[in-house]
Amino acid sequence: MGKVFAVTSGKGGVGKSTVAVGLGLAFCQKDEKVLLIDMDEGLRCLDLMLGLDKSTVFDLADILMDKEPTEAIYQCETEKNLYLIPAPAKQGMIDYFSLSTLALNVSEMFDTVIFDFPAGINIALYSCLPKDTLFLTVAVPDPVSVRDARAVSDALENANIPARLIINKFAIKQDRKFRFKNIDEIIDGSALQLIGIVPESDDLRLLSLKHKISSRSKALKAFMRITSRLCGEKLLLPKLKKI
């Protein structure tokens, strides 16, 4: 069975979906076949980020209502090992029981499956995923975001669901001057074990237009470090000015 991850956040606007795509692209660099599943009913965006918005016909709801899964799995044009199941265009279309079955089925078809959940906390929905799913909570270096990450952390811990922290949109000069004294303050505030830091990046801001991340981008290098850690490698965190 392939690896299964779920990307979450407390509040919106932290770049959670961008992180999900970045992780997907980084796993593809490891020659893995990767599936992204957009869970944000009514507010989907992964199809736009991957340049698939004009070609999608079926979505996650169609699969959960017995449509053949391969009919709603779309291959990314800019990365041949990256695939997407779009979220339903309307809310209230995801059946929890059917989702559990789908999660197990696709984990047999792909090396890595990444669920991109909507912002907020939905333990009932989280619990539909396989037991060895690792949740990746995204936060930015902002007190509100970190506090909300703590709320997600507490909910996941109470449900015995393992989770890690990804700090996104990190800019060392700005964050040292205005927000936190050091990374440890963010880790302590979120009550989550850090798995990686992603820098503020034009590549990520333009993802919906370019549908890819430059191989020279610091952001992609950050995602590569994160995926290596998720694969069991022990990599030290670089000096913050080099992230």
**pLDDT, tens digit, for every residue of 196-216?**
999 988 888 878 878 788 888
Whether the pLDDT of residue 18 is over 60: the answer is yes
47-56, 129-138, 156-165: the lowest-pLDDT one = 47-56
At 236, is the pLDDT very low, low, confident or very high (cuts 50, 70, 90)? confident
Q: Region of 15 please: left (phi>0), alpha (psi -120 to 50) or beta.
A: left
Phi, psi for 234 (deg, rounded to 5):
-100, 100
Q: Is 181 exposed, middle or buried (0-12, 13-18, 19+ CB in 10 A)?
A: exposed
Whole-Å CA distances, 179 to 10, 164, 169, 198, 201:
18, 21, 13, 17, 19
Banded pLDDT at 171 (limits 50, 70, 90):
confident
Which two structure tokens, joined as six digits, stand for 28? 């593809």
Strand partners, 165: 137, 194
Which band of pLDDT confidence, cut at 50, 70 and 90, is reported for residue 175?
Answer: low
**Residue 57 CB burial class (10 angstroms; 0-12, 13-18, ≥19):** exposed
For 38-76, how does the pLDDT look when each residue is reduced to its tens digit (9 = 90+)? 998 778 889 989 998 888 888 888 888 877 777 889 999
Alpha-carbon span 201 to 213, nearest angstrom = 10
* Burial class for 223, CB neighbours closer than 10 Å (0-12, 13-18, 19+): buried
Strand pairing partners for 4? 113
Which has more confidence, 119 or 197? 197
Position 81 confidence tier, pLDDT thresholds 50, 70, 90? very high
